[in-house]
Every structure is written in structure tokens, then in C-alpha cells.
Amino acid sequence: MYYLNVLPLFLFFSLTLGSYPQYDLEKAHEYFADFIKKYERKYESAEEFRMRFEIFKKTLVQINEWNANSDYENSGFIITQFADLENVPPCFDPSQMNNTMPLTEVKREFIVNAPDEIDYTTQGLVTEVKDQNPCGSCYIFAAIGNIEGVHAKQNPGQLVSLSEQQILDCMSEATCHGGYSLNVINYVASSQGCMSEADYPYIEKTKTSCRFDAKKVKAKVNPAQTFNTPDDESLKGALSQNGAPLAVTVEATDSFTRWQGADVFTPKDCTGGGANHAVLLVGYGKDANGVSYWKFKNSWGTGVGDGGYYKLNMQNNCSFGRVATCSAT
């Protein structure tokens, strides 16, 4: 393994609300040293080290540009665990979608009567923010988040953090290179259920060995349904009709991976070209300025977004919630 042979200087900015300063590009090596230490990076060769450092420097330039042109009051862009990656690792695989699967039409009564706001994090239906780490397993985290919420809705007071690693180890088509949340939900429904995170902890590796123990199952659900949500109103209605968080997809771009703060996020680098990431939709609402947003829980840890949550402007070009919106029943 190749390491930077300097003492990390812990030069990540101490960020305060409304203060997202520029990174000094002359100190790029020092920032990179801190990055390697903080995220425990180990590069296989000097060549890979140099390549990652060049990407890291480009990331700093991009972050500075975004912050210089930002009008956010309480948010900005920072160095995160993705700073040495050229592209967002895709973890939603649309090729696994079955185009013959019937879509569930959202009932008109839920579309017409959808409340002004929903936040399932305040209703005991959402567990802690988790971190998928380098594994491209977002589709599993979104599905498990949905199962946790549906189970808690059906069994009030029984919100349990469930195991993503069980899926990686025991579901035949599960990989660290993307998948489809509906397949995860249906696997749990067709098997004997899902164990808890505590009994089957996440180690971000695929197919270690299946250690499923039916005696330790904490949740069971029925097969999944996929909602037809081609627009914002139908997605609001689906979230209301479901009565629990939904697994949805989004085009997660570089700006998503650098974002930190509580403001409504309006990414400017989405292309509208399709989804590459799965998240857990937990609500929607409007901020103090009347800007409508979707609230979702990500699976990148608490260091991005607002403690791991994002408020995404409904006026976005990120294909949010347009395909693969699904839930256990």
C-alpha cells in the first residue's frame, strides 16, 4: 500500500453556519494528508496515489467555485469521503427492473388530499442514518429503510434497525455494484424475514457467508409494489397513501457528494439523464421562503447533507422519484 509520508495536519475547515470558506490550493497536499487519515485510504501504488491526488485537487477547485457562487446562508460544499473519486459510484441498476411488472396507480383521493407536509422522521418510522461506505449498496439501504418503516407502521412502537449485510450475504443477486430495491424487499418477503443490525452488522463486503438465523428475525413484510409516480403530485400522494417512507431513485451528481447544510438544496449539475442512486423518501414540505422540497435519508453517513438528510428542491432536474418508487406492503 502507498501512503503519504507526512504528518496529517488536520486542516479541514472548522465550518460554522453561514461560513464556507475557500480551500487554499497551495495546501492541497496537507488537505490530502488529512483526507487519507480521516477516511483510512490505502492506495495500491504510487501511480494510483498520484492519480487520486490529481482528482482530489480538481475536487478542491470545484468546491471553491461552487462556494464562491453560492447564495446559501447556512450550507455549502466541503471535502467528503468522495473527494478522490472522479464520478459518483453508481449503485442503482435499472437493468434489474422488470418492465412487465404492473405499476400501482396512486389513488386519486391521496393525490387530491395529500397534506401540505409529511415528515415520517417525527412519527417513529425512520431509524438512524447509516453509511454504505465504498460498497455500491444504496439500493439495499433504501429498501431496508422502507422495510423498517413499514414494519414500524404495522407494529407501533417496534422501530428496529435492520440488517443490510444479511441481504449482501444471503440474497443471490446482491452485489456491491448496484441493484434494485424492489428485489431486496421481495427477497425479505419471500424468505423468513430480516434480522437486526445488532445481530447481523454491516461490514460492507459482499458474500462473506450467509449467517441468517430465523430465530433472530425482527421483521417480516409482504411483497413489494411499485408506484407510478411520473410527477410531484403523484409522488406526494404515494408517500401519503403508503403511510411510511418510500424507496426512490435519483440522479446523484458530484454536488450531492460535497453538500453539507440544512438549506433546501438545488443542484445545478443534474443532467436529467436518469437515476444512479437509491434513497429513502421520508417527507416533503416548504421552507421559510416558500420553497418546496423533498426530504430524504441518504446512506452516506452523517457527514454529508444535514446529518445525512437532504432537503432537495422539488424544482430539480435530477429525476427524483420518477422511476422505481417502491415499498413493502
> Which amino acids are annotated catalytic?
138, 277, 298
Percentage helix, strand, coil for the chain under 3-state DSSP, each rounded to 5: 30, 20, 50
Residue 83 φ/ψ, nearest 5 degrees: -65, -20
Amino acid at residue number 140: I
67/154 Cα distance (integer angstroms): 44
3-state secondary structure at position 162 = strand
Grid coordinates representing 69 are: 457562487
**Whether 124 contacts 244, CB under 8 Å:** no
Amino acid at residue number 37: K
- Residue-wise DSSP of 15-80: -BTTB-----GGGHHHHHHHHHHHTT--BSSHHHHHHHHHHHHHHHHHHHHHHHT---SSEEE---
180/277 Cα distance (integer angstroms): 10
245/120 Cα distance (integer angstroms): 7
- Residue-wise DSSP of 65-113: HHHHT---SSEEE---TTTT-SSPPP-B-GGG--TTSPPEEPPHHHHHT
DSSP assignment letter at 120: G
269/88 Cα distance (integer angstroms): 12
DSSP assignment letter at 153: H
